[in-house]
């Protein structure tokens, strides 16, 4: 008598796929496999999809078409012993829902793994890539549930590997750029990687030397660059622990700036490029300033940038890595230069509270103690409805007032006026209003021409003067009134530095723009405008700027 016969008729394989929740469990299983693959460092999304697909198909082949019988049941299996699972499914009946499910699931996975993001987005709207729901939810679960599986950002991974003195640069074709800056009075260098990680940096400032001579003397600056450049580049490289052979390229400021200073940086870089056989990326100093924000914040093009420093003053629309529209610039001197001149005229260096401060900082500090309404300086260029700036007129007016006050108080030139704080407050306020008004017009112009987003445009303010909190507040009033976001890089990155040059090199490498393998005929350019100048068009639009209450 064969006891097993009655049981062997009920083959568990035939109905296992019809159990409650089986499809969901199956999908979750495949999902889990994909998540685990995604969480492995250096597996990109397409790689993870492909592996999920391959592993799933192998599993399907083994369990559905290779293995025969009922492996988890010991009793007699009857004729099932000779059949694969696919044949046993639903007692061999065709076109059942289980069979359809098994037929469709590899097709769906194949589409998910097929190359081309467009296909995936169109066909798999529920399973997008790294930005998608699956990725976010799975990362949340993994991060919460098991720290072991958490996927740190690429930057952290590289830092982690670096801590073992491991160089991912070579292994994963990670981009590393050495940036060199000598356009004015700072000799600076830095090594930056593709993710915006600053691996090494060094800077030598000539400010002190030039303070003594009352301004930059180009031959002196040139000599100081020559004396320091080798050491500064070496320092940046050695702190980065990157060997020169690992660099992807060398990026150097070649325009605009002081001719003698630019020359030192360029000839040093060309020697290095020749010696190391690396590509060379010539950098536009102002473009580098404008793009610095992208090293820290995820700012998409287009955005508006206001560069205000001791040497620069301009408003531009940034549309791409090397696509700029110049909306306006200073017709004479830069605001930082003007503030420095006023500070010098007021002899603030002799003021007990300001003796160690730069001119601009001294004005900002003293202004807090003064009444900005004590003097009424008219903001410059009120009738010109464009985005240009002017500061010499204001500087002359202040000069006259100071001379007049010195007479009234009966003091010599070089002594501190009792009204110095009021003058500082008034000049800072007038400067802030002038800058704010021009920026406001630029925002309105760009929105009117649909060059900027109507509701979430970004204004980036950079340059040394950007760290003046009063001026920044004035700009915040403008961005608040125009539904814009105001962003400022930290002070260290607002002034001249090597990091921004290296970062611009990275941006250009990624975009494949301006990478030279042959440096023949490359020259520095002391004068070089930023982008396409449309300031005339801006002036012709004659946009009237609504009055804003500058309650700062
Ligand atoms: C701008 O708006 C923000 C948020 O509404 C507010 O906190 C801030 O004080 C405003 N700034 C100025 C200068 O009005």
Quote the CATH superfamily of domain 176-292+498-511.
ATPase, nucleotide binding domain (3.30.420.40)
Sheet containing strand 280-284, edge to edge, reads 198-205, 186-193, 176-181, 249-255, 280-284
User: Which mutation among 459, 474, 477, 480 tests ligand 1's pocket best, with the greatest number of atoms within 8 A of CB?
Assistant: 480
Query: Residue 233 and residue 487: Cα distance in Å, rounded?
Result: 30
Query: Residue 147 and residue 152: Cα distance in Å, rounded?
Result: 10
Contact between 321 and 283 (Cβ < 8 Å): no
Residues 6+ apart with CB under 8 A from 194: 174, 175, 176, 506, 509, 510
* CB 480 near ligand 1, within 6 Å: yes
Measure the CA angle with vertex 467, ends 465 and 468; round to 5°.
70
Contact between 404 and 423 (Cβ < 8 Å): no
pLDDT at 19: 74
- Structural domain 303-488+531-541, CATH architecture: 2-Layer Sandwich (3.30)
* CB 477 near ligand 1, within 6 Å: yes
pLDDT at 169: 44
The DSSP-derived string for 158-169 is HHHHHTTT--HH
Same fold, 176-292+498-511 and 303-488+531-541: yes
User: In the chain, what's the furthest Cα-to-Cα distance?
Assistant: 130
Query: Can you give the pTM of this predicted structure?
Result: 0.70
Closest ligand 1 atom number to CA of residue 477: 13
User: Which mutation among 470, 471, 475, 476 tests ligand 1's pocket best, with the greatest number of atoms within 8 A of CB?
Assistant: 476
* CB 221 near ligand 1, within 6 Å: no
Per-residue pLDDT of the chain (552 residues; tens, 9 = 90+): 444 444 444 566 666 667 778 888 888 888 899 888 888 877 877 788 888 888 988 988 888 888 877 766 655 666 677 788 888 877 777 888 888 888 888 888 887 777 554 444 433 444 444 444 555 555 554 444 433 333 445 556 656 655 555 554 444 558 999 999 999 989 999 999 999 999 999 999 988 888 777 678 899 999 999 999 999 999 999 999 999 999 999 999 999 999 999 999 999 999 999 999 999 999 999 999 999 999 999 999 999 999 999 989 999 999 999 999 999 999 999 999 999 999 999 999 889 998 888 889 999 999 999 999 999 898 999 999 999 999 999 999 999 999 999 999 998 888 889 999 999 999 999 999 999 999 999 999 999 999 999 988 999 999 999 999 999 999 999 999 999 999 999 999 999 999 999 999 999 999 999 999 999 999 999 999 999 999 999 999 999 999 999 988
**Domain chopping of the chain, boundaries:** 12-117, 176-292+498-511, 303-488+531-541
């Amino acid at each position: 008598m064969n006891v097993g016969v009655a049981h062997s008729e009920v083959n568990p394989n035939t109905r296992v796929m019809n159990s409650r929740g089986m499809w969901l469990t199956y999908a979750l299983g495949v999902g889990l496999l994909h998540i685990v693959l995604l969480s492995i460092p250096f597996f990109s999304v397409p790689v993870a999809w492909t592996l999920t697909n391959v592993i799933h198909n192998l599993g399907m082949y083994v369990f559905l078409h290779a293995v025969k019988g009922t492996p988890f049941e010991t009793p007699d299996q009857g004729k099932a012993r000779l059949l694969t699972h696919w044949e046993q499914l639903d007692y061999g009946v065709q076109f059942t829902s289980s069979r359809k499910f098994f037929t469709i699931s590899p097709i769906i996975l194949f589409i998910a793994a097929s190359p081309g993001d467009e296909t995936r987005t169109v066909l798999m709207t529920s399973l997008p890539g790294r930005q998608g729901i699956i990725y976010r939810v799975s990362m949340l679960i993994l991060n919460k549930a098991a720290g072991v599986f958490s996927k740190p950002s690429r930057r952290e991974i590289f830092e982690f590997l670096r801590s073992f003195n491991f160089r991912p640069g070579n292994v994963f074709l990670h981009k590393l750029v050495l940036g060199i800056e000598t356009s004015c009075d700072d000799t600076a260098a830095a090594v930056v990687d593709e993710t915006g990680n600053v691996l090494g940096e060094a800077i030598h400032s000539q400010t002190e030397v030039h303070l003594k001579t009352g301004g930059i003397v180009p031959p002196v600056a040139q000599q100081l660059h020559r004396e320091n450049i080798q050491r500064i580049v070496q320092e940046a490289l050695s702190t980065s622990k990157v060997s020169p052979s690992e660099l992807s390229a060398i990026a150097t400021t070649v325009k605009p700036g002081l001719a003698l200073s630019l020359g030192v940086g360029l000839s040093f870089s060309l020697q290095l490029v020749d010696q190391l056989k690396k590509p060379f990326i010539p950098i536009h100093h102002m473009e580098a300033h404008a793009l610095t924000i992208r090293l820290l914040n995820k700012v998409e093009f287009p955005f508006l940038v206001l560069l205000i420093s001791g040497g620069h003053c301009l408003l531009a629309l940034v549309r791409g890595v090397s696509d700029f529209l110049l909306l306006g610039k200073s017709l004479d001197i830069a605001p930082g230069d003007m503030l420095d001149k006023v500070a010098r005229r007021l002899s603030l260096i002799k003021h007990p509270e300001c003796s160690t401060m730069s001119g601009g900082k001294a004005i900002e500090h003293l202004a807090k103690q003064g009444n900005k309404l004590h003097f009424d300086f008219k903001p410059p260029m009120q009738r010109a409805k464009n985005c240009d700036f002017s500061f010499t007129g204001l500087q002359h007016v202040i000069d006259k007032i100071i001379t007049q006050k010195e007479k009234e108080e009966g003091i010599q030139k070089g002594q501190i006026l009792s009204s110095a704080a009021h003058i500082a407050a008034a000049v800072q306020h007038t400067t802030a209003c002038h800058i704010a008004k021009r920026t406001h017009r630029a925002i309105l112009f760009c929105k009117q021409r649909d060059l900027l987003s109507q509701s979430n445009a970004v204004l980036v303010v950079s340059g040394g003067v950007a760290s003046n909190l009063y001026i920044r507040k004035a700009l915040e009033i403008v961005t608040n009134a125009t539904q814009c976001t105001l962003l400022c890089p930290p002070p260290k990155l607002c002034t001249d530095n090597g990091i921004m040059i290296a970062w611009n090199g990275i941006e250009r490498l990624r975009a494949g723009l301006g990478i030279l393998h042959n440096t023949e005929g490359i020259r520095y350019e002391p004068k070089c405008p930023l982008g396409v100048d449309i300031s005339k068009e801006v002036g012709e639009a004659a946009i009237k700027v609504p009055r804003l209450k500058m309650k700062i």
